[in-house]
Amino acid sequence: MARMRAVDAAVLVLEKEGTSCAFGVPGAAINPFYSALKARGTIRHILARHVEAASHMAEGYTRARSGNIGLCIGTSGPAGTDMITGLYSAAADSIPILCITGQAPRARLNKEDFQAVDIAAIAAPVAKWAVTVMEPYLVPMALQKAFYLMRSSRPGPVLIDLPVDVQLAEIEFDIDAYEPLVPFKPAMSRGQAEKALKMLNAAEKPVIVAGGGIINADASDLLIEFAEVTGVPVIPTLMGWGAIPDDHRLMAGMCGLQTSHRYGNATMLEADFVFGIGNRWANRHTGSVDVYTKGKKFFHVDIEPTQIGRVFAPDLGVVSDAGAALKMLLDVATEWKTAGKLRDWSGWARECQDRKKTMKRKTHFDQVPLKPQRVYEEMNKAFGRDTTYVTTIGLSQIAGAQFLHVYKPRNWINCGQAGPLGWTLPAALGVRAADPQRNIVALSGDYDFQFMIEELAVGAQHKLPYIHVVVNNAYLGLIRQAQRGFSMDFEVSLAFENVNRKDDPEAGYGVDHVAVAEAMGCKAVRVRRPEEFAGAFKQAQQLMKEHQVPVVLEFILERVTNVSMGTEIDKITEFEELAEHHEDAPTAIVMLD
């Protein structure tokens, strides 16, 4: 037992729980905690330029590797409110991050003190737990509970708020007597697995919908083995993409209104039984429930009891960790196959493979300015199977999901439900901080990139190299496409005549992303024509290795390109743009079969 400040005990607990990196911004009310970090020197700190960005860095850090929990730190008041978007993003996608904020002294709470706000109350709806710790000895105990909650059942974020006098108070604490709590994870029983497989055996055209819970549980290998033993095709959700390699014979494509494949939607519409594991039936995946569920039976496994039946009632639901469920299902399925009790779905699987081979979208366009589809085609050529893509929202992300390829779990790191603009850049920095060796490619439209463009300086300062692909059409492209339903194109153009780019052919595109990136201490390459692709990808990779900073790879796109999407999975509008059109007019289209 030793006498120490509560914040010194807090840092010891963080070490014991496995924390080795933090993202944040110091300030008066959190400086005692920072003094404890400095005194120990065991936890790397990366200084963000914005506290919201620090929360997204923490999320990228968590998502990059199994067992990671990103730590975001900020002072009182606006630092905590800046974290709310990060907490929401993490909670929505079942990602654990720990946010620690400073707070005014206890005696000054509820007295409108400078930068004093009830951040625990504000954060409560978007966190598994949010608390202002009012007793010094509860600081290490609150952290113990926080890590237990973040790891148990459905993972999620926690916020701990520390009044400055609580931080500074001395307590008796023995770190040698401290042990992390064993997290709770429900597990499927054999009886439940047998019921599920009886339902599967009754189906003629079954599919497995593989959600992000499989990746959270590090159960991708079990998923693949279960699919191979049963012979059932797999439709990953956006959050589950990478759980089965894109080129696996049983990977049947993604289903959905936007981030989907033509063959994935077609297979889902043909299926008569859906085996959902670790997914949440998100509306961008399902469209309307009536269309999605028509003619099908459903089995649903989720770690969170209230997730089962939240969107629609399955024919059978089981509360279980995805990994535990797949292990039990695999054991029973293997026994049944050996005994000849498992149905043969090889004919159905071949049908799904045939759709995958034939139902493609066009990508090879030679136009200048560039079409986005061609950019993704070239990215597939330039980047290897082990590439990790980081992205958030917009036409860039939607088209990326339609055209790129992912082969491994945690190689598609996407803010799925919340989709805040600006998330991509700081999240990519967090992924890099978690893994110095990984091949990281971020993908942004120009507006997502501009939202938190200041964080490029963090990558330069802390030597966090990665390639950031920016597809620039000087538009809020997704909103512009959505506005077609209102026959308008209103306040979504980012184009203006930049007076500092008078001799630049892209002066009318407004912001000079190359100049901004270089001003931030990074490197940048601009691509205008198809024949420049190969050289630009090679140059970007060389610059990144040589200088160990982020490299921006900007592609100048035509102003307007519509990307395939629709209001129902059976009503996706497929666009093929004609070669000639006025750059500011809605693109002429022909409808594909």
Q: Each residue's pLDDT tens digit in the chain (593 positions)?
A: 799 999 999 999 999 999 999 999 999 999 999 999 999 999 999 999 999 999 999 999 999 998 999 999 999 999 999 999 999 999 999 999 999 999 999 988 888 887 789 999 999 999 999 999 999 999 999 999 999 999 999 999 999 999 999 999 999 999 999 999 999 999 999 999 999 999 999 999 999 999 999 999 999 999 999 999 999 999 999 999 999 999 999 999 999 999 999 999 999 999 999 999 999 999 999 999 999 999 999 999 999 999 999 999 999 999 999 999 999 999 999 999 999 999 999 999 999 999 999 999 999 999 999 999 999 999 999 999 999 999 998 889 999 999 999 999 999 999 988 889 999 999 999 999 999 999 999 999 999 999 999 999 999 999 999 999 999 998 887 888 888 889 898 888 888 899 888 888 888 898 999 999 999 999 999 999 999 999 999 999 999 999 999 999 999 999 888 889 999 999 999 876 433 333 433 333 333 33
For residue 331, the model assigns a pLDDT of: 97
| Phi and psi, residue 568, nearest 5° | -145, 155
Q: Are 142 and 11 in contact (CB under 8 A)?
A: no
For residue 295, the model assigns a pLDDT of: 94
Could you tell me which of 227, 193, 192, 188 has the C-alpha nearest to residue 208?
227
**So what's the architecture of 2-177 in CATH?**
3-Layer(aba) Sandwich (3.40)
Q: Are 557 and 471 in contact (CB under 8 A)?
A: yes
CATH number attached to the domain at 190-358? 3.40.50.1220
Cα(416)–Cα(394) distance, integer angstroms:
11
Cα(531)–Cα(540) distance, integer angstroms:
16
Could you tell me which of 33, 78, 80, 75 has the C-alpha nearest to residue 55?
80
Q: What secondary structure letter does DSSP report for 448?
A: H
For residue 480, the model assigns a pLDDT of: 87
Q: Are 552 and 468 in contact (CB under 8 A)?
A: yes
Cis peptide before 206 (omega within 30 of 0): no
For residue 576, the model assigns a pLDDT of: 60
| Phi and psi, residue 162, nearest 5° | -120, 105
Domain ranges of the chain: 2-177, 190-358, 372-591
For residue 585, the model assigns a pLDDT of: 36
Cα(571)–Cα(287) distance, integer angstroms:
10
Could you tell me where the DSSP H helices lie in 65-187?
78-92, 119-123, 138-151, 164-168
Cα(168)–Cα(10) distance, integer angstroms:
11
Q: Which residues are catalytic?
A: 25, 51, 421, 476, 479
What six digits make up the tokens of 487? Answer: 């026959």
How much is the pTM? 0.93
Q: Are 276 and 298 in contact (CB under 8 A)?
A: yes
Domains 190-358 and 372-591 share a fold: yes
Q: Which residues contact 476 (CB under 8 A, 6 or more apart)?
A: 394, 447, 492, 493, 494
Q: Which residues contact 222 (CB under 8 A, 6 or more apart)?
A: 323, 326, 327, 330
CATH number attached to the domain at 372-591? 3.40.50.970
Residues 120-156 as b/e (b if ≥16 CB within 10 A, e otherwise) read bebbeebbbbbbbbeebbbbbebbbbbbbbbbbbbbb
Could you tell me which of 436, 433, 394, 440 has the C-alpha nearest to residue 413?
440
Helix (H) or strand (E) holding 428: helix 424-434
For residue 394, the model assigns a pLDDT of: 87
Cα(278)–Cα(294) distance, integer angstroms:
21
